[in-house]
Amino acid sequence: MKDLRTTFLDHVKKGLNGKALPLRVFFWDGHEYAFDEPTLVTMHLKSAKVITQLLTGSALDVLGEGYVEGNIGIEGRYQDILAVAEGLSDAFPAKKPKTGILHKALHSKAKDKEAIHYHYDVSNDFYKLWLDRNMVYSCGYFKTGKEDIDVAQEQKLDHICRKLHLQPGEKLLDIGCGWGGLLTWAAKHYGIQGVGVTLSEEQFAFAKERIEKEGLADRLEIRLQDYRDIPERDYFDKVSSVGMFEHVGRAKLPEYFEVINRVLKEGGWVMNHGITASQQDDEGGHHSGSDFMDKYVFPDGEIPHLWRLVRDMAGQNLEVIDVENLRPHYAQTLIHWVDRLEAHKDEAIAMIGDKRYRIWAIYMAGCAYAFWRNWSALHQVLAIKQTGEELTPRPWERRYQYDNDQYRLAEPDWGDL
């Protein structure tokens, strides 16, 4: 009978089917093996249990958990580590769950608040280490791909404001307002009045202090509030939701868009910006890496496909007029984030501990790789509330969104990562 080390090597070689794998493995018993030279990644398997888990589970989940828990040591550049992890995932394909046992989050108000607290209330100082100067925790917007994160996020904020065609004096609701970056940008540059809601106590405190320091407290209001508890009706001219609807849950999307319909004036505009599944059969969330994300990163997060988003918006009289896929933009944003986090590694570990640091580093690097490999997507969907038969005002074309229409090819720039 083969020992686990030999079983692992045979399994990987067979699964690779002749493809190169620049990996050197050091086993718990002192043996080592290089699949191909030169090796770009070194992996230390500290326990035979890891191989048993690989043979019975999802490779990306097992590798991620093993790294976080200290059962696997990994050396190399992130882009090489992730490419090797993908190769191992091909050799150890995820086992599909039995029909009917997929996890479905309840998404009660209490459960959603608990999930938001876990991810966002780490500490504002931790996020300051690697976010941009406006504290924007969502996909940036690149025009050349060479911008730094500060410029990319300000371009994103402005792109959203342009896309919503914000006008002075309009009332803007920002659902999941984060640290208040979009609201303050829109107030200062487009003259709006606004309300932001968040479930994060850390974000709420930061955003309130921010608008007071910037002299915007007479025009902006921040609420610690569930989106379902927003009381206004037919009140807001525009609604933005950026990086929030991933926490809503697929079953709750009709209710989510019903709330947006209720708070919007007739003819009001809404822009929903969020992560979407790249394939329809990925909607269940049970694919390679999803268990790791559920356990360590985004408890109860659910990623719908674009078709569901558009269908449920239409079901609430929100007529879709523009769809934009920002997938490469999020890949580049995450590369910036993990690079900045690595640059502040010692400070971050002092704040959140070594284990949680590893979670954040591998999560962001892995997500950058996932967006670039089309395992995930990011869509901005613009819609207008249209309940009557008359055509609601809208531009003939989308040129109003841009300063110019120069085209540049989107390419990843990993730098030294």
Q: Which among 139, 161, 177, 367 is annotated as catalytic? A: 367
Beta-carbon count within 10 A of 370 CB:
24
Residue 9 burial (CB count, 10 A): 17
Catalytic status, residue 367: yes
Contacts 24+ apart (CB under 8 A), 108-116: 109/226, 109/228, 109/229, 111/300, 112/199, 112/226, 112/247, 112/300, 113/199, 113/226, 114/299, 115/247, 115/298, 115/299, 115/300, 115/301, 116/198, 116/199, 116/200, 116/247
How far apart CA 348 and CA 134 sit, in angstroms, is 19
Residues 6+ apart with CB under 8 A from 37: 22
CA dist 211 and 135 (Å) reads: 13
Distance from C-alpha of 330 to C-alpha of 264, rounded to nearest angstrom? 28
Q: Which of 16, 7, 13 is nearest to 50 (CA)?
A: 7
At what angle are helices 49-56 and 59-69 packed, to 10 degrees? 150
Q: What are the residue numbers of the active site? A: 367
